[in-house]
């Protein structure tokens, strides 16, 4: 659902009637979201396990800087105008999930840095991820060669 206001409100963010209103300052759009109350099932921890494992990879600072510079170029692409990526770690998650989708032998719950280096996986650098088709090509992507 898209919300339009008659008189432009500059910073309306909040909750009303179990609906959350959020102003996206980059695009100027106001979004509403309704979150149903869900019970957490005891056996449903697959997503949490993947996130904990990917967090334990701890990419190098130069890799994170490359990702952050890539985020700015990625958000400048016309196709990403209304769906920008907020931070480098969101883009890193996209790369890892795209990697797992392309190669069914990769298990995101158990992947390690050593496995990335040994198998020379495309997520080893932003440049390799772009050349493998995990990320779209941006101008000047050849300089993003820092290793994870």
Q: With bands split at pLDDT 50, 70 and 90, how would you rate the model's confidence at 7? A: low
Q: Say what percent of the chain tops pLDDT 70.
A: 79
Query: Residues 22, 81: one domain?
Result: no
Residue 43 has pLDDT above 70, yes or no: no
Tell me what the mean pLDDT of segment 39-65 comes to. Answer: 82
Nearest to 53 by CA among 111, 116, 123, 120: 111
**In terms of domains, do 28 and 58 share one?**
no
* Residue 59 and residue 5 in one domain: no
24 and 62 housed in the same domain: no
CA angle 67, 89, 86 (to 5 degrees): 85
Residue 148, domain member (yes or no): no
Clarify whether residues 25 and 79 are in a common domain: no
Which one is predicted more confidently, 26 or 57? 57
Whether 91 and 67 have beta carbons less than 8 Å apart is answered as: yes
Neighbours of 84 (CB within 10 A): 16
84 and 135, same domain (yes or no): yes
Indicate the number of domains in the chain. 2
In the chain, % of residues over pLDDT 90: 31
Model pLDDT, residue 83: 81
Domain identity same for 82 and 15? no
Do 83 and 26 lie in a common domain?
Answer: no
- Give yes or no: residues 84 and 55 share one domain: yes
> Do 12 and 64 belong together in one domain?
no
* Containing structural domain, residue 133: 46-143
State the Cα–Cα distance between residues 117 and 55, nearest whole angstrom: 17
Same domain, 61 and 133: yes
Residue 9 predicted with pLDDT over 80: no
For the stretch 112-138, pLDDT in tens is 999 999 999 998 999 999 999 999 999
């Amino acid at each position: 659902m898209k919300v339009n206001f008659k008189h432009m409100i500059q910073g309306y963010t909040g909750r009303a009637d179990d609906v959350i209103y959020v102003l996206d300052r980059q695009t100027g759009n106001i979004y509403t979201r309704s979150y149903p109350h869900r019970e957490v099932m005891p056996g449903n921890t697959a997503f949490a396990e993947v996130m904990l494992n990917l967090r334990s990879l701890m990419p190098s600072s130069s890799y994170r800087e490359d990702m952050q510079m890539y985020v700015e170029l990625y958000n400048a692409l016309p196709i990403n105008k209304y769906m920008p990526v907020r931070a480098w770690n969101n883009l890193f998650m996209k790369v890892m999930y795209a990697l797992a989708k392309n190669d069914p032998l990769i298990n995101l719950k158990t992947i390690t840095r050593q496995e990335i280096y040994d198998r020379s996986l495309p997520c080893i650098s932003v440049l390799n991820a772009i050349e493998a088709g995990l990320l779209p090509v941006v101008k000047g992507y050849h300089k993003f060669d820092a290793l994870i």
